[in-house]
Amino acid sequence: MQNKKVAVILSGCGVFDGAEIYESTLVLLALDQAQVEYECLAPNIDQMHVINHLTGEEMPEKRNVLIEAARLARGQIKDLAEANPAEYSALIFPGGFGAAKNLSNFATQGADLSIQPDVLNFTQAIHQAGKPIGLICIAPAMAPKLIGPGTQCTIGTDAGVAQAIEQMGGQHVACEVGSFHIDEARKVVSTPAYMLAGRISEAAEGIQKLVQAVIKMM
């Protein structure tokens, strides 16, 4: 796997307003165990809002997605706008509401979502170069706008999100928590993780398989 590096795009830090911490860590662990180099990236933008993860209530403060994501990456992270897609062999998006609030506005706009420009440009460059993309948990909701109409993906079995994916021109495929789906034609791999997982070991099973599938396609 020499000279191959995977980009991992984070959306903050914390399930309700950023990247899902377990999912992100499981992705990094799976890559490291496979001896594959990775680099964490995040857009240098304000979060949509800040959630108190103890109470679930919104807090009256502002936080930056890149600075928060740096917590998850132990400070080893790059501004997405400064990253060169040509330097990476694949891309993986962990889930968490940050994918639907910060990387896109799916949380408020549903099927009418738009993607944050740095995220869109980087992802499309990766895709157009024929490199694989992994999407976890709620992140596949961005797939039709990121990759294009006809893109196959899974968020598990959530009917509402599946319907939104179909409305955007995507093809949703129902999937069990420990499994994953591959759109072979577009090199897109997705797994439900915490859209269905009741425990960390369940999320780990699907994420491990997704990472292995992405590496195989590199």
Which of 13, 40, 137, 153 does the annotation list as catalytic? 137
Rounded CA separation 139/92 (Å): 10
Rounded CA separation 122/198 (Å): 32
Q: Which residues pair with 59 in a beta bridge?
A: 50
Say if CB 28 and CB 41 are below 8 A apart: no
Domains of the chain in sequence order: 5-217 (3.40.50.880)
Helix, strand, or coil (residue 93): strand
Rounded CA separation 37/27 (Å): 12
**137 counts as catalytic:** yes
pLDDT of residue 3: 61
pLDDT of residue 2: 46
pLDDT of residue 1: 41
From first to last of its 218 residues, the chain has per-residue pLDDT tens of 446 899 999 999 999 999 999 999 999 999 999 999 999 999 999 999 999 999 999 999 999 999 999 999 999 999 999 999 999 999 999 999 999 999 999 999 999 999 999 999 999 999 999 999 999 999 999 999 999 999 999 999 999 999 999 999 999 999 999 999 999 999 999 999 999 999 999 999 999 999 999 999 99
Rounded CA separation 175/172 (Å): 9
